[in-house]
Amino acid sequence: MAGTRHPCGSTRYVTRADLVRSAGLLGAAYTFNDSAPADEQVLHGQFDTLQLRPGLILHAACVRDLRTMDTSNQLDPAVKIVLLVDGATDLSFGHHRFQLGPRSADPAQRASGALVNLAEEDLFARRWQAGRTERKVSLTLTPEWIEEGGLAAHGDHAALRAFCREHLARQPWTPSARARDLARAILEPASFEPGLHRLRLEARCLELAAEALAAVGEHMPGTPALREIDRRRLRRLDELLHAAASDALPTMPAVPAHAPPPAGLPAPVASVPVPCMPALSMPELSMAGIARAIGTNPVSLQALTRRAWGCSVFERLRMLRLERAHDVLLRGGSVAEAAAVAGYSAATNFATAYRRRYGCTPRQAASGRAASPVANVE
Protein backbone atom coordinates (compact mmCIF):
# COMPACT_ATOMS: atom_id res chain seq x y z
CA MET A 1 0.00 0.00 0.00
CA ALA A 2 3.02 2.31 0.09
CA GLY A 3 2.53 5.39 -2.05
CA THR A 4 -1.24 4.94 -2.46
CA ARG A 5 -3.72 7.74 -1.88
CA HIS A 6 -5.75 7.72 1.32
CA PRO A 7 -9.25 9.27 1.40
CA CYS A 8 -8.02 11.83 3.97
CA GLY A 9 -4.82 12.77 2.14
CA SER A 10 -1.38 11.33 1.40
CA THR A 11 -0.52 8.22 3.36
CA ARG A 12 2.51 7.32 5.40
CA TYR A 13 3.65 4.64 7.78
CA VAL A 14 3.60 5.68 11.44
CA THR A 15 6.18 4.17 13.79
CA ARG A 16 6.18 3.75 17.53
CA ALA A 17 8.57 6.68 17.81
CA ASP A 18 6.14 8.81 15.78
CA LEU A 19 3.37 8.00 18.27
CA VAL A 20 5.50 9.07 21.23
CA ARG A 21 6.41 12.37 19.55
CA SER A 22 2.80 13.08 18.55
CA ALA A 23 1.56 12.50 22.10
CA GLY A 24 3.85 15.23 23.44
CA LEU A 25 1.25 17.94 22.77
CA LEU A 26 -1.36 16.07 24.82
CA GLY A 27 0.51 14.62 27.78
CA ALA A 28 3.42 12.38 28.66
CA ALA A 29 4.57 8.84 29.44
CA TYR A 30 3.34 7.13 26.25
CA THR A 31 3.70 3.38 26.82
CA PHE A 32 3.16 0.11 24.97
CA ASN A 33 2.08 -3.20 26.47
CA ASP A 34 4.79 -5.02 24.53
CA SER A 35 8.39 -4.52 23.46
CA ALA A 36 9.51 -3.75 19.91
CA PRO A 37 11.97 -1.42 18.14
CA ALA A 38 11.04 2.27 18.07
CA ASP A 39 11.07 2.24 14.26
CA GLU A 40 8.45 -0.52 13.99
CA GLN A 41 5.57 0.58 11.73
CA VAL A 42 2.25 0.32 13.59
CA LEU A 43 -0.18 2.50 11.56
CA HIS A 44 -0.75 3.22 7.89
CA GLY A 45 -2.58 6.32 6.66
CA GLN A 46 -2.92 9.94 7.76
CA PHE A 47 -2.00 10.65 11.39
CA ASP A 48 -1.41 14.22 12.54
CA THR A 49 -1.59 16.21 15.76
CA LEU A 50 -1.28 19.99 15.67
CA GLN A 51 -1.93 22.99 17.86
CA LEU A 52 -4.20 25.38 15.98
CA ARG A 53 -3.69 28.01 18.68
CA PRO A 54 -2.60 27.76 22.32
CA GLY A 55 -4.98 25.40 24.07
CA LEU A 56 -6.83 24.21 20.93
CA ILE A 57 -5.32 20.97 19.64
CA LEU A 58 -6.54 18.89 16.69
CA HIS A 59 -5.79 15.21 16.19
CA ALA A 60 -6.84 13.88 12.77
CA ALA A 61 -6.48 10.21 11.86
CA CYS A 62 -7.43 8.16 8.81
CA VAL A 63 -5.51 4.99 9.59
CA ARG A 64 -5.34 1.23 9.59
CA ASP A 65 -3.90 -0.62 12.58
CA LEU A 66 -0.94 -2.83 11.64
CA ARG A 67 -0.64 -4.40 15.09
CA THR A 68 -2.87 -5.79 17.83
CA MET A 69 -1.72 -4.23 21.10
CA ASP A 70 -2.61 -1.77 23.86
CA THR A 71 -1.14 1.69 24.38
CA SER A 72 -1.61 4.35 27.04
CA ASN A 73 -0.38 7.76 28.06
CA GLN A 74 -0.97 10.32 30.79
CA LEU A 75 -3.12 13.19 29.49
CA ASP A 76 -3.01 16.78 30.72
CA PRO A 77 -6.26 18.39 32.01
CA ALA A 78 -8.58 19.31 29.13
CA VAL A 79 -12.00 18.76 27.60
CA LYS A 80 -11.83 15.91 25.08
CA ILE A 81 -14.13 15.66 22.04
CA VAL A 82 -13.98 12.62 19.74
CA LEU A 83 -16.00 11.95 16.59
CA LEU A 84 -15.65 9.03 14.16
CA VAL A 85 -17.00 9.29 10.62
CA ASP A 86 -16.01 5.76 9.57
CA GLY A 87 -14.52 2.59 10.94
CA ALA A 88 -14.22 1.93 14.67
CA THR A 89 -12.07 2.69 17.67
CA ASP A 90 -11.81 1.38 21.22
CA LEU A 91 -10.42 3.87 23.72
CA SER A 92 -10.71 5.03 27.32
CA PHE A 93 -10.37 8.24 29.29
CA GLY A 94 -9.82 7.20 32.89
CA HIS A 95 -12.49 4.61 33.66
CA HIS A 96 -14.78 5.70 30.80
CA ARG A 97 -14.54 3.32 27.85
CA PHE A 98 -15.76 4.28 24.36
CA GLN A 99 -16.25 1.93 21.41
CA LEU A 100 -17.14 4.45 18.74
CA GLY A 101 -17.72 4.46 15.01
CA PRO A 102 -20.14 3.03 12.44
CA ARG A 103 -18.36 -0.34 12.65
CA SER A 104 -18.05 -0.41 16.43
CA ALA A 105 -18.45 -3.67 18.31
CA ASP A 106 -21.00 -1.86 20.53
CA PRO A 107 -24.13 -1.03 18.47
CA ALA A 108 -25.33 1.40 21.17
CA GLN A 109 -22.28 3.63 20.62
CA ARG A 110 -22.07 3.59 16.81
CA ALA A 111 -23.78 6.98 16.37
CA SER A 112 -22.26 8.56 19.49
CA GLY A 113 -19.33 10.88 20.04
CA ALA A 114 -17.19 11.18 23.15
CA LEU A 115 -17.27 14.30 25.33
CA VAL A 116 -15.23 14.01 28.55
CA ASN A 117 -13.59 16.50 30.91
CA LEU A 118 -10.27 15.80 32.59
CA ALA A 119 -10.00 18.23 35.50
CA GLU A 120 -6.69 16.61 36.42
CA GLU A 121 -4.15 14.33 34.77
CA ASP A 122 -5.49 10.88 33.95
CA LEU A 123 -4.80 7.85 31.83
CA PHE A 124 -5.80 7.52 28.16
CA ALA A 125 -5.79 4.02 26.66
CA ARG A 126 -6.31 2.68 23.16
CA ARG A 127 -6.92 -0.95 22.28
CA TRP A 128 -5.50 -1.77 18.84
CA GLN A 129 -6.70 -4.45 16.41
CA ALA A 130 -4.67 -5.41 13.35
CA GLY A 131 -6.57 -4.55 10.15
CA ARG A 132 -9.09 -2.23 11.83
CA THR A 133 -9.57 1.18 10.22
CA GLU A 134 -10.81 4.48 11.63
CA ARG A 135 -11.48 8.00 10.36
CA LYS A 136 -11.42 10.14 13.47
CA VAL A 137 -11.29 13.76 14.60
CA SER A 138 -10.30 14.49 18.21
CA LEU A 139 -10.26 17.95 19.78
CA THR A 140 -8.49 18.97 22.98
CA LEU A 141 -9.67 22.15 24.72
CA THR A 142 -7.44 23.13 27.63
CA PRO A 143 -8.75 24.97 30.72
CA GLU A 144 -6.76 28.04 29.60
CA TRP A 145 -8.47 28.03 26.18
CA ILE A 146 -11.92 27.74 27.75
CA GLU A 147 -11.16 30.50 30.25
CA GLU A 148 -9.72 32.80 27.58
CA GLY A 149 -12.86 32.32 25.49
CA GLY A 150 -15.02 33.36 28.44
CA LEU A 151 -17.05 30.15 28.25
CA ALA A 152 -16.70 28.92 31.81
CA ALA A 153 -17.20 32.39 33.27
CA HIS A 154 -20.27 33.41 31.28
CA GLY A 155 -23.49 33.61 33.27
CA ASP A 156 -25.37 31.52 30.72
CA HIS A 157 -22.95 28.61 31.06
CA ALA A 158 -23.41 27.40 34.63
CA ALA A 159 -23.68 23.80 33.40
CA LEU A 160 -20.42 24.13 31.47
CA ARG A 161 -18.67 25.55 34.54
CA ALA A 162 -19.84 22.58 36.59
CA PHE A 163 -18.77 20.19 33.81
CA CYS A 164 -15.27 21.71 33.65
CA ARG A 165 -14.81 21.44 37.43
CA GLU A 166 -15.74 17.76 37.65
CA HIS A 167 -13.00 15.25 36.88
CA LEU A 168 -14.07 12.63 34.34
CA ALA A 169 -17.42 14.33 33.77
CA ARG A 170 -18.97 12.58 30.79
CA GLN A 171 -21.66 14.13 28.59
CA PRO A 172 -23.90 12.09 26.24
CA TRP A 173 -23.54 13.50 22.73
CA THR A 174 -24.92 12.35 19.38
CA PRO A 175 -23.19 14.38 16.66
CA SER A 176 -25.51 16.00 14.11
CA ALA A 177 -25.21 15.54 10.36
CA ARG A 178 -23.54 18.96 10.25
CA ALA A 179 -20.94 17.87 12.83
CA ARG A 180 -20.13 14.77 10.78
CA ASP A 181 -19.80 16.90 7.64
CA LEU A 182 -17.39 19.17 9.52
CA ALA A 183 -15.31 16.18 10.61
CA ARG A 184 -15.15 14.88 7.03
CA ALA A 185 -14.07 18.32 5.82
CA ILE A 186 -11.35 18.46 8.50
CA LEU A 187 -10.01 15.15 7.21
CA GLU A 188 -9.93 16.31 3.57
CA PRO A 189 -6.58 17.01 1.88
CA ALA A 190 -5.37 20.60 2.10
CA SER A 191 -6.64 22.74 -0.79
CA PHE A 192 -5.12 26.06 0.31
CA GLU A 193 -1.72 27.47 1.21
CA PRO A 194 -0.60 26.33 4.71
CA GLY A 195 -1.67 29.52 6.52
CA LEU A 196 -5.10 29.55 4.90
CA HIS A 197 -5.57 25.83 5.47
CA ARG A 198 -4.88 26.37 9.17
CA LEU A 199 -7.59 29.03 9.31
CA ARG A 200 -10.06 26.75 7.57
CA LEU A 201 -9.25 23.92 9.95
CA GLU A 202 -9.67 26.19 12.95
CA ALA A 203 -13.05 27.47 11.76
CA ARG A 204 -14.35 23.93 11.34
CA CYS A 205 -12.94 22.81 14.68
CA LEU A 206 -14.54 25.77 16.46
CA GLU A 207 -17.95 24.96 15.02
CA LEU A 208 -17.54 21.30 15.95
CA ALA A 209 -16.51 22.23 19.49
CA ALA A 210 -19.46 24.61 19.77
CA GLU A 211 -21.94 21.84 18.96
CA ALA A 212 -20.37 19.40 21.41
CA LEU A 213 -20.19 21.92 24.25
CA ALA A 214 -23.80 22.97 23.61
CA ALA A 215 -24.78 19.46 24.68
CA VAL A 216 -23.36 20.06 28.15
CA GLY A 217 -26.18 20.64 30.60
CA GLU A 218 -28.88 18.66 28.84
CA HIS A 219 -28.37 15.73 31.23
CA MET A 220 -26.52 17.36 34.12
CA PRO A 221 -27.99 16.80 37.59
CA GLY A 222 -30.62 19.40 38.37
CA THR A 223 -30.99 20.41 34.71
CA PRO A 224 -34.09 19.02 32.96
CA ALA A 225 -33.27 17.16 29.75
CA LEU A 226 -34.55 18.62 26.52
CA ARG A 227 -37.78 17.10 25.33
CA GLU A 228 -37.70 15.26 22.02
CA ILE A 229 -39.99 17.88 20.48
CA ASP A 230 -37.49 20.59 21.50
CA ARG A 231 -34.65 18.60 19.97
CA ARG A 232 -36.59 18.40 16.70
CA ARG A 233 -37.26 22.14 16.83
CA LEU A 234 -33.58 22.87 17.36
CA ARG A 235 -32.62 20.67 14.40
CA ARG A 236 -35.14 22.44 12.15
CA LEU A 237 -34.02 25.83 13.43
CA ASP A 238 -30.38 24.99 12.75
CA GLU A 239 -31.27 23.99 9.17
CA LEU A 240 -33.13 27.28 8.70
CA LEU A 241 -30.30 29.41 10.07
CA HIS A 242 -27.71 27.70 7.88
CA ALA A 243 -29.95 28.36 4.87
CA ALA A 244 -30.50 31.98 5.94
CA ALA A 245 -26.74 32.46 6.24
CA SER A 246 -26.24 31.36 2.62
CA ASP A 247 -25.92 33.68 -0.32
CA ALA A 248 -29.42 32.76 -1.51
CA LEU A 249 -31.12 34.59 1.35
CA PRO A 250 -31.01 38.26 2.37
CA THR A 251 -29.21 39.87 5.26
CA MET A 252 -30.38 39.29 8.77
CA PRO A 253 -33.62 40.60 10.21
CA ALA A 254 -34.28 43.33 12.68
CA VAL A 255 -33.74 42.84 16.39
CA PRO A 256 -36.07 44.78 18.70
CA ALA A 257 -34.67 48.05 20.01
CA HIS A 258 -34.75 46.78 23.57
CA ALA A 259 -32.41 43.89 22.65
CA PRO A 260 -29.22 45.43 21.17
CA PRO A 261 -26.67 43.08 19.62
CA PRO A 262 -23.67 42.05 21.71
CA ALA A 263 -20.44 44.00 21.35
CA GLY A 264 -18.65 43.28 18.10
CA LEU A 265 -21.72 42.06 16.24
CA PRO A 266 -23.12 44.00 13.28
CA ALA A 267 -26.00 46.39 13.61
CA PRO A 268 -29.21 44.68 12.46
CA VAL A 269 -30.99 45.67 9.28
CA ALA A 270 -34.68 45.74 8.54
CA SER A 271 -36.55 42.46 8.29
CA VAL A 272 -37.21 41.56 4.67
CA PRO A 273 -39.19 38.86 2.86
CA VAL A 274 -37.35 35.68 1.96
CA PRO A 275 -38.07 33.02 -0.63
CA CYS A 276 -40.51 30.31 0.44
CA MET A 277 -38.71 27.39 2.08
CA PRO A 278 -40.74 24.21 1.56
CA ALA A 279 -39.34 22.44 4.62
CA LEU A 280 -40.20 25.35 6.90
CA SER A 281 -42.86 27.26 4.89
CA MET A 282 -41.54 30.61 6.14
CA PRO A 283 -42.89 33.82 4.65
CA GLU A 284 -40.24 36.03 6.33
CA LEU A 285 -37.15 35.77 8.45
CA SER A 286 -38.41 37.22 11.73
CA MET A 287 -38.76 35.88 15.24
CA ALA A 288 -42.52 35.44 14.78
CA GLY A 289 -42.04 33.75 11.41
CA ILE A 290 -39.31 31.42 12.65
CA ALA A 291 -41.31 30.48 15.75
CA ARG A 292 -44.41 29.70 13.66
CA ALA A 293 -42.38 27.63 11.24
CA ILE A 294 -41.02 25.32 13.93
CA GLY A 295 -44.22 25.13 15.96
CA THR A 296 -43.63 27.37 18.95
CA ASN A 297 -43.76 31.03 19.99
CA PRO A 298 -41.01 33.70 20.10
CA VAL A 299 -40.64 33.72 23.89
CA SER A 300 -40.34 29.92 24.11
CA LEU A 301 -38.00 29.85 21.13
CA GLN A 302 -35.59 32.37 22.64
CA ALA A 303 -35.61 30.48 25.95
CA LEU A 304 -34.90 27.22 24.13
CA THR A 305 -31.92 28.56 22.16
CA ARG A 306 -30.49 30.29 25.24
CA ARG A 307 -30.69 27.01 27.12
CA ALA A 308 -29.36 24.77 24.33
CA TRP A 309 -26.86 27.07 22.59
CA GLY A 310 -26.16 29.81 25.12
CA CYS A 311 -27.15 32.53 22.64
CA SER A 312 -30.20 34.02 20.94
CA VAL A 313 -31.53 33.01 17.55
CA PHE A 314 -30.05 36.01 15.78
CA GLU A 315 -26.75 35.81 17.64
CA ARG A 316 -26.43 32.31 16.21
CA LEU A 317 -27.32 33.62 12.74
CA ARG A 318 -24.67 36.35 12.98
CA MET A 319 -22.08 33.75 13.88
CA LEU A 320 -23.02 31.61 10.87
CA ARG A 321 -22.86 34.60 8.54
CA LEU A 322 -19.41 35.45 9.91
CA GLU A 323 -18.32 31.89 9.14
CA ARG A 324 -19.55 32.30 5.56
CA ALA A 325 -17.56 35.53 5.31
CA HIS A 326 -14.53 33.60 6.54
CA ASP A 327 -15.01 31.09 3.71
CA VAL A 328 -15.28 33.94 1.19
CA LEU A 329 -11.88 35.24 2.29
CA LEU A 330 -10.27 31.81 2.16
CA ARG A 331 -11.62 31.28 -1.37
CA GLY A 332 -10.03 34.48 -2.63
CA GLY A 333 -12.83 37.01 -2.07
CA SER A 334 -12.19 40.58 -1.06
CA VAL A 335 -12.65 42.00 2.42
CA ALA A 336 -15.56 44.11 1.12
CA GLU A 337 -17.29 41.02 -0.27
CA ALA A 338 -16.78 39.16 3.00
CA ALA A 339 -18.14 42.08 5.04
CA ALA A 340 -21.24 42.20 2.83
CA VAL A 341 -21.82 38.45 3.27
CA ALA A 342 -21.54 38.90 7.04
CA GLY A 343 -24.07 41.77 6.97
CA TYR A 344 -21.66 44.52 7.99
CA SER A 345 -21.83 47.97 6.41
CA ALA A 346 -18.76 49.23 8.31
CA ALA A 347 -15.45 47.54 7.54
CA THR A 348 -14.05 48.41 10.97
CA ASN A 349 -16.90 46.63 12.78
CA PHE A 350 -16.42 43.60 10.54
CA ALA A 351 -12.68 43.56 11.20
CA THR A 352 -13.23 43.76 14.97
CA ALA A 353 -15.69 40.86 15.02
CA TYR A 354 -13.58 38.81 12.62
CA ARG A 355 -10.39 39.24 14.63
CA ARG A 356 -12.19 38.33 17.86
CA ARG A 357 -13.37 35.05 16.32
CA TYR A 358 -10.42 34.01 14.12
CA GLY A 359 -7.40 35.66 15.74
CA CYS A 360 -6.31 37.67 12.68
CA THR A 361 -7.63 40.51 10.55
CA PRO A 362 -9.71 39.88 7.41
CA ARG A 363 -6.89 41.34 5.29
CA GLN A 364 -4.39 38.91 6.80
CA ALA A 365 -6.72 36.00 6.06
CA ALA A 366 -7.33 37.23 2.50
CA SER A 367 -3.61 37.61 1.77
CA GLY A 368 -2.54 34.38 3.47
CA ARG A 369 -0.44 36.14 6.14
CA ALA A 370 -2.05 34.29 9.05
CA ALA A 371 0.27 32.60 11.49
CA SER A 372 1.62 29.26 10.34
CA PRO A 373 0.57 26.15 12.24
CA VAL A 374 2.86 24.24 14.53
CA ALA A 375 2.50 21.26 12.18
CA ASN A 376 0.64 20.52 8.97
CA VAL A 377 -2.35 18.26 8.60
CA GLU A 378 -1.86 16.70 5.20
Q: What is the pLDDT along the chain (378 residues), one digit of tens a residue?
A: 333 333 454 689 999 999 999 999 999 889 999 999 999 999 999 999 999 999 999 999 999 999 999 999 999 999 999 999 999 999 999 999 999 999 998 888 888 999 999 999 999 999 999 999 999 999 999 999 988 877 755 545 678 888 888 999 998 888 988 899 999 999 987 655 666 788 889 999 999 999 999 888 655 444 456 678 888 888 888 888 888 887 433 333 333 333 344 343 333 333 333 333 334 443 357 888 888 888 889 888 888 887 777 678 888 888 888 888 888 887 888 899 999 988 888 888 898 888 776 667 888 877 764 433 333 343
| Report field, pTM of the whole predicted structure over 0.85 | no
Hey, which bits of the chain come out as E strands?
A: 5-6, 9-10, 12-15, 27-32, 41-53, 56-65, 70-75, 78-87, 89-93, 96-100, 114-118, 122-127, 133-141, 169-170
Alpha-carbon gap, residue 19 to 27, rounded angstroms: 12
Query: What phi and psi, each to the nearest 5 degrees, are found at residue 338?
Result: -65, -40
pLDDT tens digits along 149-186: 777 555 456 788 888 889 999 988 889 888 999 999 99
